[in-house]
Chain A
């Protein structure tokens, strides 16, 4: 028993400590092999059984390798979570992968295997990439404007200011509000005829600026992006504030003794120590914003034209509007792969920044 335990531990260490490049190459090769095998044996139940067992086995391997120093009893406690994970996460993933290679209307008992043609169509779908661009634009605004605001407010609340708990609560109100409610309220604020915004602009004498904000292709996407930032900055604020509070005060005192001013302390103490937190916030912002959906649906429905369409609304349109479930799944997988690549790239950058 101890021999196997030792071997598993060795294997795990080998995989865990392998260089990132090696891991990436092995990962890509595994994905290509899986895809090739899938294209060849997609109709075989044995193939699905092997793949499912392999993935579940890998999970068990990771768990066992992590628990190897402990008792077998502790492994038993992990089994329910492992079961739930394989049934509700791994199985649906393979189902989506399978559907993405089929033409299916969502109801019919028969699916037509179409190989990679759904993915080919996704690659050539200009509207899909336009939606990606729109999501990228909202993400860019969120990464800069939203996170800069969150950092400034976190820095302010990190200091000994009066009623800082009150501000913390206030800043965290938008994230806990329902997205549908926020969307509908802001839709009313932006309304061209009876909206508060136009009313205020008219009262201030900016008659030329007044417009129907959500129906104007020049402003619709930016309006949605601004509300997304307003709704989401509270999360960044909380995480950044938590990060700031982990920085030992002694470091600032030492910097002050060395003659550093506020900017120098920020640049040389706060920023280097906050890099992991910045990376976390940036990853969460990108993943959260790229998947923005409810706000769009309640504010513009993706219009006017395709001006506020985002990947998730396109997936929904393929699935519900056009009953092309296979194509929708291919869009979902493409989108997931892009998000994964962005996240890995960010993690790589943060590692380099830390080393620097």
Chain B
């Protein structure tokens, strides 16, 4: 009897072990005849709204949608990579990373090209969404990654990264909250006035280096224009060029004139958000997702949105933005038609308006804009000036990006001069380009 029992346990254990290897949610749902779609995401702030929408969708269509939340985003990212290796991705998933990661997933056959669905019925679905949000998920003909042209993701919200200012602290420092700084000089003057009143200037999560990268590229686009930035990325203009030195010098100026919040170089964005929400700094550099975050931290916070003050008045100030989060369709899903129908429904006007109101994020559907809160409307004005590395024709090499961002940290802490960083980056870029060849 004991032996039989042990044998049964062994068989059961092996069954579980082998069942866990290589199963596909789409495959299992289809094979069982159950209309079920599995979605993986990392957005803790949107999970409740997603669950609510899943219920509505099931009532409407009979298709069960399971939103599975995996947070924090780092852990989610690892999970998606591991699942891709095991070919066990769900029907729908989000991807965190750069365009080259996106391209690698497509080339490995994990993501469906949605161009046909997007362009059907006179491009009805495509036209309903913000063009710049779609661009992040788009690969054009002859792209540098060697991916077939198409649209590989559906944006479920839109974001952009801008400057915010605290109106109450402006009044306290004797500044006019109705006319925030529009030029670099005005910004410097405002920070100095705030400093004199004992108020910290700019806070941002520059311990997460991509945020430094974001501001630096905004300033670079404004100072030298996109073409020269792209020429640098292609290796045609060195980082020791005077225009780049000018960009780096702005960070030195901010540090020297004490315009930055204390400890900014090791501050993660969550701490920076807390500092701004608790009125410890007058300016913040943050994305449109912050409307929801600040509301949670301090509902009575009175603040406004402004474009990053311009250094070169003859050029516009470009900002990073586009699709906030996108959903991608697993190319191996056996319920692809149902998955596309769900995504169409999720990005339709009413659902987008619901998500925008519930989660305070900018909707990806153009027609949902009329129903959004005032602060989000202010953010949406910046969409005209949006750009993003994922839509650039060329991208920087990973090692150069890291050294660029860490180098700016070094300038802020007074360890390097802008010229030193420029020379160091020019040398590294040449080395990396030589390796690439």
Contact = CB atoms under 8 A, between A and B. Distances in A.
B278 to A, nearest CB: 9
Contact of B406 (A216, A220, A299, A306): A306
Secondary structure of the B contact surface, majority rule: helix
Interface string B149-191: 0000000000000000000000000000000000000000000
B263 A105 contact: no
Interface residues of B, number: 38
A216 B104 contact: no
B342 to A, nearest CB: 25
Contacts of B321: none
A105 B402 contact: no
Given A107-B101, A108-B108, A305-B409, A320 B265 contact: no
Nearest to B397: A322
B264 A215 contact: yes
B381 interface: no
A301 interface: yes
Interface in B62-88: 74, 77-78, 81, 84-85
Contacts of A214: 263, 266
B413 A216 contact: yes
Given A193-B280, A214-B263, A215-B263, A305 B74 contact: no
A92 to B, nearest CB: 13
B100 interface: yes
Nearest to A305: B410
A77 to B, nearest CB: 14
B59 to A, nearest CB: 37
Which of A107, A216, A303, A317 counts the most B-chain CB atoms under 10 A from its CB? A107
B107 interface: yes
Given A105-B104, A216-B413, A322 B402 contact: yes
A304 B104 contact: no
A303 B406 contact: yes
Contacts of B399: 322
Given A215-B262, A320-B74, A300 B104 contact: no
A46 to B, nearest CB: 24
Interface string B190-222: 000000000010000001110000000000000
A318 B340 CA distance: 35
A274 to B, nearest CB: 40
A300 B402 contact: no
Contact of B84 (A107, A301, A305): A107
A136 interface: no
Contacts of A321: 398, 402
A193 B280 CA distance: 10
Contacts of B334: none
Given A108-B104, A305-B406, A192 B263 contact: yes
A217 B398 contact: no
B410 A304 contact: yes
A286 interface: no
Nearest to B268: A301
B100 A105 contact: yes
Interface in A89-128: 105-109
A317 B399 CA distance: 10
A323 B263 CA distance: 29
Contacts of B101: 105, 107, 323
Given A304-B265, A322-B398, A323-B398, A106 B81 contact: yes
A59 to B, nearest CB: 22
A329 interface: no
A142 interface: no
A323 B81 CA distance: 11
Interface in A308-328: 317, 320-324
Nearest to B98: A323
B129 to A, nearest CB: 26
A217 B208 contact: no
A212 B262 contact: yes
A215 B413 contact: yes
Which of B265, B268, B402 counts the most A-chain CB atoms under 10 A from its CB? B265
Contacts of A305: 265, 406-407, 409-410, 413, 415
Contact of A107 (B104, B207, B262): B104
B262 A193 contact: yes
Interface string B108-132: 1110000000000000000000000
Contacts of A216: 413
Interface in B386-427: 398-399, 402, 406-407, 409-410, 412-413, 415
A158 interface: no
Nearest to B104: A107
A105 B106 CA distance: 13
Contacts of B402: 317, 321-322
B230 interface: no
Nearest to B105: A107
Interface in A59-110: 105-109
A179 interface: no
Contacts of A304: 265-266, 409-410, 412-413
Contacts of A107: 81, 84-85, 101, 104-105, 108, 110
Interface of A: 105-109, 191-193, 212, 214-217, 220, 299-301, 303-306, 317, 320-324
16 contacts: A105-B104, A107-B84, A107-B104, A107-B105, A108-B104, A193-B280, A212-B263, A215-B262, A300-B207, A301-B266, A303-B209, A303-B409, A305-B410, A317-B402, A322-B402, A323-B104
Interface of B: 74, 77-78, 81, 84-85, 97-98, 100-101, 104-105, 107-110, 200, 207-209, 262-268, 280, 398-399, 402, 406-407, 409-410, 412-413, 415
Which 10 residue pairs are nearest across A and B when measured between Cβ atoms?
Answer: A322-B398, A107-B104, A192-B262, A304-B265, A215-B263, A305-B410, A212-B263, A303-B266, A301-B207, A192-B263
